C-alpha cells in the first residue's frame, strides 16, 4: 500500500548559531517555502562536536535564536539539545524526533558546508534513515563528486519536493535559493572589531547583543 502521510513535513535546522544571522533565517524560510514544511524547528547545539567551543554560552545563543524567529509563525525553537546535555549529536536529536512524530516526513535542513562534513558526524549513516536531508547551496562550497557523500547523492537524490512529502525519510534534495555570503564567523568578526552588524541579523538580536556586550573583545565590555 502506498505511504500516505498524515501530516505535512517538519523541518529541522540545527546549528551553533554563534550568533544567528540572516543567512540562517533566509535559508530556513526558503526551505519552508520550497518543501512546504509546516514548521521549521531551530535546534541550537549545546556542545557542538567538531568545532572550537562557541564564543558565548548555549543559553545566550538560544535566547538570540528565540528573539530572531519570534515573528515567523512557521519557525519554532527546540531547546532539546540544551536540556539533554552532553555532546549535541544530531543522530540522537533525530532519533528523539522520529520517536515523537511516528512516520511523519522529517527533513534535516543543512547548508552545503555542513553537508560536506557529514561523514565526520557521529553515526552519520543513520541520519538518512531517520529523516530526509535537504541541502542549500552556499557560496564557496561545491556538491560532492566522489567518496561516500557522492554515493549517498547517487542513491537518494530527488529533484521533486513531493518525494519528500510522500515518505518519512531517506531522500536527498539540493536547493539553490538566495545564496547569502554571510557566516557567524564574519558576524563575530564584525562585533569583535566594534563594527555595527545592522542588516546582517534581525534588529532584535542586534540590540540584545549590543546591550549585553556579548561578542565584544575582552576588555571592551562595559562594567
**Contact with ligand ATP (CB under 6 A) among 158, 167, 183, 212:** 183
**Contact with ligand ATP (CB under 6 A) among 9, 11, 105, 111:** 111
Shortest Å distance, C-beta 45 to ligand ATP: 8
Q: Is there binding between residue 94 and ligand ATP (CB under 6 A)?
A: no
**Judged by CB, which is closer to ligand ATP: 11, or 111?**
111
Q: Is there binding between residue 107 and ligand ATP (CB under 6 A)?
A: no
Q: Which residues of 116-125 are buried (b: 16+ CB within 10 A; e: fewer)?
A: bebeebeebe
Q: Is there binding between residue 78 and ligand ATP (CB under 6 A)?
A: no
* Sheet of strand 75-77, all strands in order from the earlier edge strand to the far edge: 75-77, 39-44, 10-15, 106-111, 132-136, 172-175
**Judged by CB, which is closer to ligand ATP: 114, or 164?**
114
Residue with the three cell numbers 519570534 = 70
Give the residues across from 14 on adjacent strands. 43
Q: 184 to 203, contacts with ligand ATP by CB under 6 A?
A: 184-185
**Judged by CB, which is closer to ligand ATP: 17, or 105?**
17
Shortest Å distance, C-beta 179 to ligand ATP: 6
H or E stretch at 164: helix 161-165
Q: Of 17-25, 71-79, 155-163, 197-205, which segment contacts ligand ATP by CB under 6 A? A: 17-25
Q: Is there binding between residue 164 and ligand ATP (CB under 6 A)?
A: no
Shortest Å distance, C-beta 118 to ligand ATP: 10
Q: Using an 8 Å Cβ cutoff, are 90 and 108 in contact?
A: yes
Q: Is there binding between residue 9 and ligand ATP (CB under 6 A)?
A: no
* Nearest CA-CA partner of 148 in 112, 117, 176: 117
**Contact with ligand ATP (CB under 6 A) among 56, 82, 134, 136:** 136
Size of the site for ligand ATP (CB under 6 A): 18
Q: Using an 8 Å Cβ cutoff, are 150 and 156 in contact?
A: no
Shortest Å distance, C-beta 173 to ligand ATP: 14
> Dihedral (C-alpha) 108, 113, 118, 120: value to the nearest 10 degrees?
-140
C-alpha cell at 63: 535566547
Rounded to 5 degrees, what angle do the CA atoms 161, 134, 2 make? 45
Question: Which three-class secondary structure state does DSSP give residue 53?
Answer: coil
User: Which residues contact ligand ATP by CB under 6 A?
Assistant: 15-18, 23-24, 27, 110-111, 113-114, 136, 138, 180, 182-185
Amino acid at each position: 500500500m502506498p505511504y500516505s502521510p498524515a501530516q505535512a513535513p517538519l523541518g529541522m535546522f540545527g546549528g551553533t548559531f554563534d550568533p544567528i544571522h540572516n543567512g540562517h533565517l533566509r535559508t530556513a524560510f526558503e526551505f519552508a517555502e520550497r518543501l512546504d514544511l509546516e514548521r521549521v524547528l531551530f535546534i541550537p547545539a549545546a556542545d557542538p562536536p567538531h568545532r572550537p567551543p562557541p564564543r558565548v554560552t548555549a543559553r545566550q545563543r538560544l535566547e538570540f535564536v528565540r528573539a530572531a524567529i519570534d515573528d515567523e509563525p512557521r519557525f519554532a525553537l527546540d531547546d532539546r539539545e540544551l536540556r539533554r546535555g552532553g555532546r549535541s549529536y544530531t543522530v540522537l536529536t533525530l532519533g528523539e524526533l522520529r520517536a515523537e512524530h511516528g512516520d511523519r516526513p522529517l527533513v534535516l535542513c543543512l547548508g552545503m558546508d555542513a553537508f560536506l562534513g557529514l561523514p565526520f558526524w557521529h553515526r552519520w549513516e543513520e541520519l538518512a534513515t531517520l529523516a530526509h536531508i535537504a541541502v542549500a547551496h552556499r557560496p564557496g562550497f561545491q556538491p560532492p563528486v566522489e567518496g561516500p557523500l557522492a554515493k549517498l547523492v547517487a542513491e537518494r537524490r530527488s529533484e521533486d519536493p513531493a518525494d519528500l512529502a510522500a515518505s518519512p525519510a531517506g531522500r536527498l534534495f539540493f536547493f539553490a535559493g538566495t545564496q547569502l555570503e554571510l557566516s557567524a564567523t564574519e558576524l563575530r568578526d564584525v562585533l569583535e572589531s566594534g563594527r555595527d552588524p545592522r542588516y546582517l541579523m534581525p534588529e532584535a538580536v542586534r540590540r540584545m547583543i549590543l546591550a549585553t556586550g556579548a561578542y565584544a573583545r575582552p576588555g571592551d565590555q562595559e562594567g
